[in-house]
């Protein structure tokens, strides 16, 4: 099937009988060979539809007739246009891993041992401040967070549902870019969604991406190591620890299912070794 170009489009507010009620966007499409067709358009809320846009054919349920027969027809879809970063913006060091694996510790140590080369990026969050928080968080209201998100001022963001609210976490592009201005490498603590968002925002090759794994030969041993660390840390209730472990299992699976998102997986059995290894990599990049 051929791709096409939108010659014109309209939103029919009252489609004919037999078609689904409600507005129906219909385009006049010119195909590659010059043939023109009228066809429903699948629009994309993230970008306004305009004349001249390229569209791709897609089979889609058009309507269900009075006998219950489902009629499929070709619609045309506007492909998602991700802003392609032409220039390489710089490296971002991303640390991903389950809760309790030592991401914060590693990032803190990195910023002290090779502090003139790396700097931690503050995490923007809507959750309430609590005791034991390092200076790593910037607390904002959900309204402020969503405003930044809608204005495209976040490099990546995610929401984590908790008992009574939806908590948002994210990183501001201005914080990351300010660190680049100082000729330093930003260090970011991520989880699966934040890492994917970051990779699509700056491009995968900008991310020095490391997965931190707890020590242990099996998943059970790894989870057990995490459990002990979380209890030793003393910041969470047993209930919270249980939740964190549930998420940890998914985080460990993520290392396998999305291995292309990681440059390397590092077992955090000795924090000094890990910091030394990562610090060395950063220095290597900076010199290159």
Partner 1 sequence: MQSPIYLTGTGQTRFGEHWDKSLKNLMEESIDAAIENAQCTALDIDMVIVANMLGEVASDQAHLGAMAASLLPHHPPALRAEAACASGAVALHAACAMLESGKAQTVLVVGVEKMTDVSAEKIAAGLMGAADAEKDAPSGLTFPGIFGLIASRYMHEFNLSREQLNHVSARHHKNAVSNPFAQFRKEIPAESISASPKVADPLCMLDCSPISDGAAAIILSTKFESSIKIAASQLATDTLSITDRPTITSFAATKDAMTAALEEAEIDRSDIAHIELHDCFSIAALISLEDMGFANPGEGINLYTDNRQPTTINTSGGLKACGHPVAATGIKQVIDVSKQLKASGKSYGLAHNFGGAAATCGIHILQSESLITNH
Give the interface with partner 1 as residue ranges (CB under 8 A): 7-17, 19, 24, 26-28, 35-40, 51, 62-63, 73
User: Least CB distance from residue 83 to partner 1, whole Å?
Assistant: 24
User: Least CB distance from residue 29 to partner 1, whole Å?
Assistant: 9
DSSP characters over 49-104: --TT-EEEEEEEEEEE-TT-PEEEEEEEEPPP-PPP--S----EEEEE--TTSSHH
Q: Which of 23, 152 has the CB closer to partner 1?
A: 23
User: Least CB distance from residue 66 to partner 1, whole Å?
Assistant: 13
User: Least CB distance from residue 45 to partner 1, whole Å?
Assistant: 16
101: nearest Cα among 271, 275, 284, 287: 271
User: Least CB distance from residue 20 to partner 1, whole Å?
Assistant: 9
User: Least CB distance from residue 150 to partner 1, whole Å?
Assistant: 24
Q: Which of 40, 100 has the CB closer to partner 1?
A: 40
Q: How far apart are CA 151 and CA 149, in angstroms?
A: 5
Q: Which of 34, 129 has the CB closer to partner 1?
A: 34
The answer to whether the CB of 225 falls within 8 A of the CB of 110 is no
Residues 6+ away with beta carbon under 8 Å from 158:
168, 169, 170, 191, 193, 194, 197
Q: How far apart are CA 37 and CA 106, in angstroms?
A: 58
Q: Which of 10, 116 has the CB closer to partner 1?
A: 10
Q: Which of 51, 64 has the CB closer to partner 1?
A: 51
Q: Which of 26, 106 has the CB closer to partner 1?
A: 26
User: Least CB distance from residue 64 to partner 1, whole Å?
Assistant: 13
What are the start-end ranges of the H helices in the chain?
A: 103-113, 142-150, 173-181, 192-202, 219-233, 238-257, 271-287
Q: Which of 49, 240 has the CB closer to partner 1?
A: 49
Q: How far apart are CA 95 and CA 191, in angstroms?
A: 8
User: Least CB distance from residue 72 to partner 1, whole Å?
Assistant: 12
CA 23 to chain centre: 32
Q: How far apart are CA 220 and CA 283, in angstroms?
A: 35
156: nearest Cα among 110, 94, 104, 90: 94
Q: Which of 14, 219 has the CB closer to partner 1?
A: 14
Q: How many residues does the chain have?
A: 288
């Amino acid at each position: 099937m051929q791709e096409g170009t939108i010659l014109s489009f309209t939103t029919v507010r009252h489609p004919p009988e037999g078609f689904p009620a409600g507005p129906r966007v219909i385009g006049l499409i010119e195909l590659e060979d010059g043939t023109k067709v009228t066809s429903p358009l699948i629009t994309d809320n993230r970008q306004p539809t305009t004349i001249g846009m390229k569209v791709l054919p897609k089979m889609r349920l058009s309507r269900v007739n009075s006998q219950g027969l489902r009629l499929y027809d070709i619609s045309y879809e506007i492909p998602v246009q991700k802003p392609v970063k032409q220039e390489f913006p710089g490296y971002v060091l991303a640390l991903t891993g389950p809760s309790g694996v030592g991401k914060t510790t590693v990032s803190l140590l990195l910023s002290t041992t090779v502090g003139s080369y790396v700097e931690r990026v503050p995490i923007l969050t809507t959750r309430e401040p609590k005791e034991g928080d390092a200076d790593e968080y910037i607390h904002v209201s959900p309204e402020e967070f969503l405003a930044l998100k809608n204005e495209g001022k976040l490099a990546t963001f995610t929401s984590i549902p908790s008992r009574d609210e939806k908590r948002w976490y994210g990183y501001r592009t201005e914080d990351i870019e300010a660190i680049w201005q100082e000729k330093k490498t930003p260090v970011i603590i991520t989880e699966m969604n934040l890492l994917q968002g970051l990779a699509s925002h700056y491009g995968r090759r900008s991310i020095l991406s490391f997965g931190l794994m707890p020590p242990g030969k099996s998943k059970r041993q790894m989870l057990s190591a995490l459990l002990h660390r979380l209890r030793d840390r003393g910041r969470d209730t047993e209930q919270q620890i249980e939740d964190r472990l549930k998420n940890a299992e998914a985080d460990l699976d993520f290392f396998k299912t999305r291995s292309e998102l990681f440059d390397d997986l590092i077992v955090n059995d000795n924090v000094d070794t890990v910091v030394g290894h990562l610090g060395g990599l950063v220095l290597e990049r900076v010199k290159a």
